[in-house]
Amino acid sequence: MHPRPHPHTYLGRTLPRCIAAGLALFAVFFAHSALAHGVTEGDASFLQGKEGFHFWPYFYLGAKHMVTGYDHLFFLAGVIFFLYRLRDVGIYVTLFAAGHSLTLIVGVWFDIPANAYIIDAIIGFSVVYKAFENLGGFQRLGVHPNTRLAVLIFGLFHGFGLATKLQEISLSQEGLLANLIAFNVGVEVGQLLALLAMITLMSAWRRQSSFPRQAIVANTALMFAGYLLVGYQLSGFFLIT
């Protein structure tokens, strides 16, 4: 009788296939719709008809945008990929949150103009950057970037990405600052929920003996997804603007 394959063997065979299938589905979805990143027409119409402070609608929209915002989630996954201590996760996520909270509120409050396609292309590049770092690319080049500073800076761009989506809506100036804070609170709650799910899955995955090998495949897939994001946004910039 042949020995029964160890469960890790099945995991090692199936995970790369699942990643490839996931990327294929992502590419199809990505080619036809960008709704997960923007504000849906229904949500936009609802907010445009609101005057004054409305905490829950803005809170809901912020949480929804983060939970469904694949570009933000890709970057967040890359940031925590090799962080094993909750303290380190807290530091990096706080830096990211501080960055995107600042530019989100300031960008909309002062109506700072920014091309959404360029900002989103930079956000896509942040995914490429983090995956490249996780793969040891900078070490091979003899470069040692400040990881925490990079997360903070990219957080600023992610915040501008959120701001450009709100700037597309004719929001009431009455209670705008309070509504922006509510939106940002929703973003943070959505980020926390996504982070808890990621940490749970990552913790179980890291216990597998095949994790080091699969981590290379996963970060390569993450980098590819980042390139797709960059290419899609630059295509929009050159073809639409």
* pLDDT value of position 142: 95
Note the pLDDT of residue 149. 98
20-51 in b/e burial notation, b at 16+ Cβ within 10 A? eeebeebeeebeeeeebbbbeeebbebbeeee
* pLDDT tops 60 at residue 184: yes
Q: What pLDDT digit, counting tens, does each position of 92-151 carry? A: 999 999 999 999 999 999 999 999 999 999 999 999 999 999 999 999 999 999 999 999
Domain ranges for the chain: 7-240
- What pLDDT is stored for residue 51 in this prediction? 83
Q: Are 120 and 161 in contact (CB under 8 A)?
A: yes
pLDDT of residue 4: 45
**pLDDT tens per residue across span 29-44:** 444 444 345 667 777 7
Residue ranges in 83-210 assigned as alpha helix (H)? 86-109, 116-134, 137-141, 147-167, 176-206
Higher pLDDT, 44 or 152: 152
3-state secondary structure of 53: coil
pLDDT value for 10:
40
Radius of gyration (C-alpha) of the chain in whole angstroms: 19
Average pLDDT over all residues of the chain: 86
Q: Cα 31 to chain center, whole Å? A: 18
pTM of the predicted model as reported, rounded to 2 decimal places: 0.84
